[in-house]
Each structure stands twice: as structure tokens, then as C-alpha cells.
Amino acid sequence: MSESPNKTHFGFQEVDENQKQNLVADVFKSVAGNYDVMNDAMSMGLHRAWKWFTIAQSGVNPGNEVLDLAAGSGDLSLKFAAKVGPQGRVVVTDINPAMLAQGRRRLTDAGIAGNIDYCLVNAEQLPFDDNQFDCISISFGLRNVTHKDVALREMQRCLKPGGRVLVLEFSQPTNPTFSRLYDAYSFNVIPKLGELISNDRDSYQYLVESIRRHPGQEELKQMMLEAGFDRVRYHNLTGGIVALHVGYKY
């Protein structure tokens, strides 16, 4: 008899581990065309401030090499390209071809070329050398990874000694009253926005559910320490709706 596959979560559903990647791929294929519009609508534009804060914490300098995982439509990649300059390099990656194409179009339209490469990448199996990058970022993508511990170890492997990793992700509000209001907004408003803007309620229902299944601030910090990162810290943004975790390699 063949061994039963392990289970994992897809939103609030329990699914076979070997199914999750395709299910997540279907979600992002569906939302790619309206991704930026929905980000603005759902966060009321706050995602822009969260990403600028991430860049400010990156320590990236001219000439550096940056890996942007789950880059989506390229918000962070665009900013990193400006910081590393013509002597540096940004590797823009996503596991989903539709999202990677969306990011490529956006960066090309912005005139970004020369210091940018594009790569279809699974965060659990990075096709890069050990100690290659000065900075590695993953923005609103880690929660979609099946084996987060594996992805974190891969990031640690590919980071240069002295480099830093940036994990920007939805997290857990720190105030109970605010948390209840956030739950009401998330479950009642966000799927409706998805239906109105993208004609896709189900994908944004998954988004809300996936946030609730993602490790909280302290749990993710511990996972990063176990993956080999040092001096891990996190910054709660907008009351903990989002947290930026920063870790170093020595």
C-alpha cells in the first residue's frame, strides 16, 4: 500500500501537501490582473507604507545583490533596483508565471532594465548558490508556502554572511478590540471587494483564511531562529495587522 500524503492547510481547508502548490497557483493566476488595484482597496493604500518601511530596514546599498521572493507585481523589486544602482542586481522571482509576468511588465514599463533578472522560483528549492545575496526579501508570500521551515532554511543558505532577510507578512493584531474589528472587516468586506473588483470572491476568501493560519509574531521569530538566522526582531505595523521580521546571517 502507498503511504497517505501528509496534510496541510489551504485557508481553513485541510488538503494533501502535494495539492497546495497548485491550489495557490490557481488563486494567483486568477487575481494577477487586478492584484495592484485590490492591494490598494483592501489596505486602503497602507501596503505602500509597509513596503517603504521594509526598504528602509533593508540596509541595501549600491552594488548589492538582492533576491526578491514572491515578488508579485514588483513593488519591492522596483525600490530595490533604485537602491542597488547599475552596479547591483535584483533577482525578481515568483512561483506563479502569471504573477511573474505581471511584475516583469510593470518594471519594464517603469524603465527598469540592466540590473534586473527574472526567475520562476519555488521558495523551498532556490536555484542559487550558497552565500550569494546581500539581502533576501519575501513580501506577503511566506504564508502561501507549504513548508515554511524549508523556505526559511533555503533563504539562510543563499544569504551572504552579514546579510539580512526581510519577511513582510500579515500577522496578529496586538489589541483585542482592534483584532475583533479587523476580523469583521476581513471576513465581511475583503471577499466582497474581491467579488466587485475582480469577480473573484473565493480567492479573497482564501486570502483572509490564509492570514489566520499563518504563524504569529513570536512563532515566526522562533522559526527564523531555528532556520539559522541571528538577532531576529520584528516590527508590528498598523497595530500588528502586518509584521516585518528581520533576521541576519553571521
Q: Is 94 annotated as a binding residue?
A: yes
Cα(195)–Cα(211) distance, integer angstroms: 19
Q: Is 4 annotated as a binding residue?
A: no
Q: Is 123 annotated as a binding residue?
A: yes
Cα(77)–Cα(83) distance, integer angstroms: 10
Q: Is 129 annotated as a binding residue?
A: no
Q: Is 139 annotated as a binding residue?
A: yes
Q: How many CB atoms lie within 10 A of CB 11?
A: 19
Inter-residue contact 12 to 199 (CB < 8 Å): no
SS (H, E, C) 21-85: HHHHHHHHHHHHHHHHHHHHHHHCCHHHHHHHHHHHCCCCCCCCEEEEECCCCCHHHHHHHHHHC
Cα(173)–Cα(189) distance, integer angstroms: 18
Residue 143: all three cell numbers together: 504564508
Detail the residues annotated as belonging to a binding site.
Answer: 73, 94, 122-123, 139
Annotated binding site for S-adenosyl-L-methionine: 73, 94, 122-123, 139
